[in-house]
């Protein structure tokens, strides 16, 4: 057995390969993958949970011999079918260690399967922190990098802009390191590579000294917000906004670094009793009586309307509670088009709310920002970006109407040159992607060069990147 463990995977007889993979093979009865929102589900032919890099190589070797696609997945937080496959799934949840922390040069090296929540704890012990974050930290580090996930801050790029180097396991079983200086094309393709260039084993991430944020929240009427849009977006290091369409009100959040002592905001009364349990109950009732959905949105807007100030560790301010599973879509709009886009969306929603049979939007519509970057497939490539995201909650896991609303939003986003968030459902194929991403063909060329056997092309990649006719609802969870 020892000789097998040190042998090259290609030299291991097939029967021995099966034996070596048995301990990390998930039982067929448990080999069902469902994303966090419980909107997509798949039953891969085999699911593997490797504990080290050599076992990842073994999985790829078996896939080569059997002609299988390998899809890498971690916690499955993507609201789309990005992680789904019918063939081999490699779950990286056990590849979750921090390998190096350099406080002097301010970087950390961690395995791709680590969640941001766990990474925060390691960084905190070393008085370090990530410079920017999205609304949640449940995702894996590799997942965040692969989709160019963003936070909010007019002068802050997507999280992938903080990556210094990547260690990848390619389809042929070779391990390579890439950065802006070493294999730069592979690096630029992998920073938002959707899992199509290889398995992200390790990430070297730039960090900064641990810091606290002071967040001030207040509410404004939509019209006042839109008239002061540029000023408000630039008024803090991390500005973000939540729009309650039924009340035509914007909840504004302004966060800046501070040396003041911790002073967490919020209360059990709002965060748990009303904000979670009662609101979820009302959303459930709203499935049958749509007027209740409007009342619920108005109640939530009122409960959060007062001015508040909170001071806490950075990641605790950056993150918010997503509360329940949800349908969601989010698009990156050129900053200069964002005000007009928001006005169009407002006009549409007002008409719907006045129509007794119109759609009843949930809340809030989230508005955030990211700086321009040079990452080939980043939605912020080459332009200052306003992100606009909408949700329709699934109270107690039950389905709600969302398609008509999402289709209308997508039409508006496309009119204003929007690019979809890669982790969320969208209609774009290669023709449209080629129009909006100058390096799309460079990206495809890298995929072709490092994965000629098409090992990492699951249904999502085949559909959106390669243009194959694959139903968007192939993995949709039945109602």
Of 435, 434, 430, nearest to 466 (Cα)?
430
User: Where do the CATH 3.40.462.10 domains begin and end in the chain?
Assistant: 212-420
Strand 308-313 relative to strand 365-370, pairing: unpaired
Asked if residue 6 has pLDDT above 70, the reply is no
Which residue in this structure is represented by tokens 């920073």? 191
- In 3D, which of 371, 341, 364 has the Cα closest to residue 152? 371
Q: What is the pLDDT of residue 270?
A: 62
- Dihedrals φ, ψ of 243, to 5°? -105, 125
Place of tokens 């950065």: 179
Burial class (CB in 10 A: 0-12, 13-18, 19+), 261: exposed
Distances, alpha carbon 215 to alpha carbons 154, 190, 437, in Å: 16, 34, 35
- Scanning the structure block, which residue is given the tokens 């890298």? 446
Displacement of CA 16 from its chain's centroid (Å): 38
Task: Kindly report whether the peptide bond that precedes residue 364 is cis, defined as omega within 30 degrees of 0.
Answer: yes
Interval 183-198: pLDDT, tens: 999 999 999 999 999 9
Residue 274 scores a pLDDT above 80 = no
Mean pLDDT in residue range 65-90:
95
User: Is 374 in contact with 382 (CB distance < 8 Å)?
Assistant: yes
CA angle 457, 424, 169 (to 5 degrees): 35
In the chain, CATH 3.30.465.10 covers 98-209
Buried b or exposed e, range 299-322, using 16+ CB within 10 angstroms: bbbeebeeeeebbbbbbbbbbeeb
Architecture of the domain spanning 98-209? 2-Layer Sandwich (3.30)
* 230 vs 249: CA distance, rounded Å: 17
Confidence of residue 4 (pLDDT cuts 50, 70, 90): very low
Mean pLDDT over all residues of the chain?
95
Provide the pLDDT for residue 324.
Answer: 84
What is the mean pLDDT of the segment spanning 356-385? Answer: 97
**How confident is the model at residue 277, as a pLDDT?**
87
- Band (479; pLDDT cuts 50, 70, 90): low
Angstrom CA distances, 13 to 4, 19, 50, 57, stand at 9, 10, 19, 14
Give domain 212-420's CATH number out of 1.10.10.10, 3.30.70.260, 3.40.462.10, 3.40.50.300.
3.40.462.10
Q: What is the pLDDT of residues 424-436, one digit of tens each?
A: 999 999 999 999 9
Which tens digit of pLDDT belongs to each residue from 101-139? Answer: 999 999 999 999 999 999 999 999 999 999 999 999 999
Of the listed ranges 249-253, 393-397, 463-467, the one predicted with least confidence: 393-397
Alpha carbon distance 17, 37 (integer Å): 35
* pLDDT on residue 301: 92
Judged by average pLDDT, the poorest of 33-37, 350-354, 377-381 is: 33-37
């Amino acid at each position: 057995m020892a000789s097998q463990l040190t042998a090259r995977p290609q030299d291991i007889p097939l029967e021995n390969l099966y034996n070596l993979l048995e301990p990390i093979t998930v039982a067929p009865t448990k080999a069902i993958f469902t994303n966090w929102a419980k909107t997509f589900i798949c039953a891969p032919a085999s699911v593997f949970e490797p504990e080290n890099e050599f076992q990842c190589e073994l999985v790829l070797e078996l896939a080569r011999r059997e002609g299988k696609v390998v899809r890498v997945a971690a916690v499955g937080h993507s609201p789309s079918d990005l992680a789904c496959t019918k063939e081999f799934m490699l779950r990286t949840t056990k590849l979750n260690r921090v390998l190096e922390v350099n406080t002097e040069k301010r970087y950390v090296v961690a395995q791709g399967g680590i969640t941001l929540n766990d990474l925060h704890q390691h960084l905190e012990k070393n008085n370090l922190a990530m410079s920017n974050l999205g609304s949640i930290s449940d995702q894996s580090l590799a997942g965040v990098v692969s989709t160019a996930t963003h936070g909010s801050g007019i002068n802050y790029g997507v999280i992938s802009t903080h990556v210094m180097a990547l260690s990848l396991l390619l389809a042929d079983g070779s391990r390579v390191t890439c950065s802006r200086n070493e294999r730069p094309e592979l690096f630029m393709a992998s920073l938002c590579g959707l899992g199509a260039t290889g398995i992200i084993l390790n990430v070297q991430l730039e960090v900064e000294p641990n810091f606290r944020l002071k967040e001030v929240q207040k509410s404004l009427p939509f019209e006042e917000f839109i008239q002061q849009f540029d000023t408000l977006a630039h008024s803090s290091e991390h500005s973000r906004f939540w729009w309650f369409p039924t009340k035509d009100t914007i909840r504004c959040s302004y966060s800046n670094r501070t040396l003041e002592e911790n002073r967490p905001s919020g209360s059990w009364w709002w965060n748990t009793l009303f904000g979670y349990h009662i609101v979820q109950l009302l959303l459930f009732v709203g499935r049958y009586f749509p007027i209740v959905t409007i009342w619920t949105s108005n109640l939530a807007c009122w409960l959060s309307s007062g001015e508040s100030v909170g001071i806490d560790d950075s990641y605790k301010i950056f993150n918010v509670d997503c509360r329940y599973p949800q349908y969601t879509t989010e698009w990156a709009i050129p900053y200069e088009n964002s005000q007009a886009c928001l006005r169009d969306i407002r006009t549409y929603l007002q008409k719907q709310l006045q129509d007794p049979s119109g759609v009843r939007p949930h809340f809030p519509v989230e508005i955030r920002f990211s700086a321009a970057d040079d990452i080939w497939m980043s939605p912020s490539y080459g332009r200052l970006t306003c992100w606009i995201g909408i949700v329709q909650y699934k109270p107690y896991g039950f389905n709600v109407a969302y398609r008509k609303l999402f289709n209308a939003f997508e039409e508006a986003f496309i009119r204003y040159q929007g690019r979809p968030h890669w982790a969320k459902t969208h209609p774009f194929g290669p023709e449209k992607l080629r129009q909006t991403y100058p390096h799309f063909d460079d990206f495809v060329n890298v995929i072709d060069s490092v994965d000629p056997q098409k090992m990492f092309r699951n249904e999502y990649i085949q559909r959106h990147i390669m243009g194959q006719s694959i139903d968007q609802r192939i993995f949709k969870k039945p109602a």
